[in-house]
Chains A and B, each alone.
Chain A
Amino acid sequence: MKKIFSIGLALLLVNWCLGQDKGNLLIKNGTVLTVTKGTLTETDVLVKDGKIAQIGKNIAAPQGVRVIDATGLFVMPGIIDAHSHIAIDGINEATSPVTAEVFEGDVVNPLQIGIYHALGGGVTAVHAMHGSANAIGGQCETLKLRYGTFDGDAMKMEGAPRTIKFALGENPTRVHGGGSGIVPRTRMGVEFVIRQSFSNAKKYMEDWDAYNKNKLVKGFRGAPPAYNLRLETLAEILKGNIIIHCHSYRADEIFMLLNVCKDFGIKRVVFQHVNEGFKVAPELAAYGAMASVFSDWWAYKFEVYYSTAYNAAILTRNGVVTSINSDDAEMMRHLYHEAGKTQKYGNLSDDEALALITINPAKQLGIDARTGSLEAGKDADIAIFKNHPLSIYGVPQFTVVDGIVRFDRAADPADMRLMVDPKQNLDDVTFHDKNVDHCMEGTEFLFSDLFQADKK
């Protein structure tokens, strides 16, 4: 019995170590794209205990530390995807227009091969989001791509602020109004659902505040208000402790949520997709709201018909903190290329384009003090490229998370699965269908016409 216990303890320890590993590393003689402090040629980056210890010339390698010769290579901050659905086993709790109580952090799956694929594209952190079926969806989780751990909790970026998914427009109205015949069926209904939820949360907060105050009074005999996780979560948004990340497309609905936020005193809001963000860029900038966009996706549904690939450039020029995200397991692997498109569509500078996939998404997730640029003291989340990352010929060679090399193009074997199903049919081929909106994963049953998995 004792033996089993110690084996179990040892396993736990090994597992914990795999996840929490902090590495030491010296990256020699690369072109260092710090993003925030310019480009440094023939420069070294020293990593100690998972943090960037020093950036400079001719740093001597401490004994026993792995050295990567980056001569002729480009060293940039690890790419951050502010909108992803990888590494989680559930995306939409599509059972109510409001599901603030559910949490992606409860369903982290560290075994998905997609995590390794993303590392192969230089990505080191992702915002694993709830889907867009509900006006107020579930809470999301910021993950570091510590591929190799078997412990979902070890993937979570410790200390990252809480975030929650909201969704406006066609998706929530289609699922609830269209699918179940309940509010919201229109953009009017979406606004109402959100305002009603915040009003209820405000009342809930006030009831608890009153109770907490009264219970200190001698002789008070009242009962506490009923605990409600949904309202509890919404109250945390009102208190400024959870950042809203809102799936949205059209200018009017974006403006609507800005007004709702203003009325309820909510300051931290990031709009996701936000294809028509460019139309209300001055309003977004004035409010301090941020935008996380696609480089060029459009035309896949009506609310993105009047899009422009110049969206990121217009938002940037108007002073909106903007990022480029993927929302897609394939696009996630070349966010550097997606950022490069802003040079075709709007002439952004190299640093402006790189900021869209590094420091800006870090700001949107509230993790910019630790990631998003190469600076001493920050986490050693680093991508090393052959050729400039904004060039079509840029190819990630190494991806480093917390100082640990998690992707090594030359050394890694082809098969990088962590878990192999012995019953797997090796001939089984699954195509990645770009015609499916991953934000709507988990709601297929409502739209059999959109998901034609026929059984004939």
Chain B
Amino acid sequence: MKNFQLVAGFFTALFCAVVFHLEAQNAKGKYGTFALTNATIETITNGTVSNGTVLISNGKILAVGANIAIPQGAEVIDCKGLTVYPGMIDSGTNLGLSEIGSDPRTQDFNEVGDLVPQMKALTAVNPNAVAIPVTRISGITTALSSPRGDMFPGTAALINLHGYTPEQMFAGFEGVVLNFPNTGRRGFFDRRTDEELKKATETALKKLNEVWERAVQYHKVDSATQGKNAGYYPEMQALLPVVRGQRALLVEVNTSKDILAALKWIKEKKIAKPVLTGVAEGWRVADQIAKSKIPVIAGSVLEIPTRDYDRYDQAYANPGLLKKAGIKVAIRSEETNNQNFRNLPYHAGFAVAYGMDRREALRAITIVPAEIFGVADKLGSIEVGKSATLFVCDGDPFETKTQIKQVFIDGWQIPMSSRQTQLYDEFLKRDPGVSKK
């Protein structure tokens, strides 16, 4: 009897030790072979499969469909009543580059200088930023992390939201950011006169043309000397792949006047891979954008109209109107100051509530950005051979009632916790309560 007590005590102690040990550390991702069975599968590119299986192995999607044989040793996850979607892609973030909005010491997206395209976002992405788990457990698996600031603030990078080094997170796309000379006011605090504004824009455009002229010259010298005698001009070297049409130029532009000026500039300079971003007033000049065949990353959607005489819901309607005009449209959240990229599906949802086709809105946060970034062979849909980067949820992901149940990134099963869920677990029923016993 005494022995039994001892043994029981030992196992209790062991059990507690194991449990507390597990509690003491953050959960890790899990790699392996997984079978998501009995699921509705929104493939995005090949319609909807009901009661199907998604097989994940070696980081990739091995099989999709009904009647899939489950290999031995696969971890089976019953998804009855649940739906599998490809991971959402937010094309408007500074994830990993900012921790606290008001503290410059935690902000790594705005380097000094107006010509610094050589500043690479991927260098400064902090894989352990608190916002990364907060974002990914909402089904946003992939994000474009962008430098911002003056004219050429740096080179943006597409990252998957799992990994311990920037290299592990890199999702295969980098693009140079250009803030196109802007005639809009930045907010109520921007008290420049019309004249000052006009002058600032003209100066900026002149500067942009000078920079581009230099970049073209640099390209010529570099080509003529087989890259040996062009000299060390890091900012020019960063622009070189754009001049040569090997790298995308992400052109941030918002007012209708500026959009037209940007379209003209892109045509004149023969930019090979342009992408327009922001495009708040795109609806005003949608036909011209459509004619240019340049893809658009629109957002933030949750905005007030840019002009006080515009219809109240104009910003919500913008993505739908762009799509209707025949433009290739991705939707971004751009919720940088609050690090609320988890709201991406709600930006898409508002576009739907105010006129966009629901399927198109879903594509605008999955396959369309994947295509724009040239990574559609890996991301953006549930297809055999693509990266197993997806999520499982219990309803329409645009609805706030919907819970995300599982997230996989590059085949890694992601722990469904973040600091925000941990605080919930600790404080829902705080102990001690009001009196400390």
Contacts and interface: CB of A to CB of B under 8 A. Distances in A.
Given A436-B187, A455-B192, A343 B400 contact: yes
Nearest to B345: A392
A395 B353 contact: yes
A340 interface: yes
Contacts of A281: 427, 430
Given A433-B186, A433-B187, A455-B196, A390 B400 contact: yes
A346 B427 CA distance: 12
A279 B427 CA distance: 6
A99 B308 CA distance: 33
A426 B254 CA distance: 16
Interface stretch (A112-120, A186-194, A238-246, A354-362): A112-120
A314 B427 CA distance: 7
A427 B203 CA distance: 19
Nearest to B423: A308
A414 B433 contact: no
Interface residues of A, number: 72
Nearest to A280: B430
A49 interface: no
A28 interface: no
A4 interface: no
Interface in A418-456: 420, 425-436, 441, 444, 450-451, 453-456
A298 interface: yes
Contacts of B343: 296
B341 to A, nearest CB: 11
A431 B424 contact: no
B400 A337 contact: yes
A317 interface: yes
A417 B421 CA distance: 44
Contacts of B300: 434
Given A329-B304, A431-B254, A392 B189 contact: no
Contacts of A434: 300, 335, 337-338
Interface in B167-210: 183-192, 194, 196, 200, 203
A416 B312 contact: yes
A393 interface: yes
Contacts of A387: 353
Contacts of B254: 429, 431
Interface residues of B, number: 72
Interface in A298-327: 298-302, 305-310, 313-314, 317
Contact of A299 (B131, B257, B280, B281): B131
A391 interface: yes
A426 B187 CA distance: 17
A419 to B, nearest CB: 10
B304 A337 contact: no
A175 to B, nearest CB: 14
Nearest to B431: A282
A37 interface: no
B304 A432 contact: yes
B398 interface: yes
A414 to B, nearest CB: 4
Nearest to B103: A302
B57 interface: no
Nearest to B149: A452
B428 A314 contact: yes
Interface string B127-152: 00011000000000000000000000
A300 B337 CA distance: 5
Interface in B390-437: 396, 398-403, 419-421, 423-424, 427-430, 433-434
B46 interface: no
B307 A392 contact: no
Contact of A298 (B338, B349, B421): B338
A281 to B, nearest CB: 7
Interface in A374-426: 387, 390-395, 414-417, 420, 425-426
B338 A427 contact: no
Contacts of A301: 100-103
Contacts of B423: 278, 306-308, 310
A117 B338 contact: no
Given A299-B100, A300-B102, A435-B101, A286 B189 contact: no
A429 B396 CA distance: 35
Interface of B: 98-103, 130-131, 183-192, 194, 196, 200, 203, 254-255, 257, 280-281, 300, 302-313, 335-340, 342-343, 346, 349-350, 352-354, 396, 398-403, 419-421, 423-424, 427-430, 433-434
Closest 5 A-B residue pairs measured CB to CB? Answer: A433-B187, A392-B349, A340-B400, A300-B101, A301-B102
Given A308-B423, A444-B189, 10 more contacts: A286-B434, A308-B420, A391-B399, A392-B349, A392-B396, A392-B400, A431-B186, A431-B187, A454-B200, A455-B196
Interface of A: 113-114, 116-117, 120, 170, 278-279, 281-283, 286, 296-302, 305-310, 313-314, 317, 329-331, 333-334, 337, 340-341, 343-346, 387, 390-395, 414-417, 420, 425-436, 441, 444, 450-451, 453-456
12 contacts: A117-B305, A170-B102, A281-B430, A305-B130, A310-B420, A392-B400, A425-B194, A427-B257, A428-B307, A429-B306, A433-B189, A453-B192
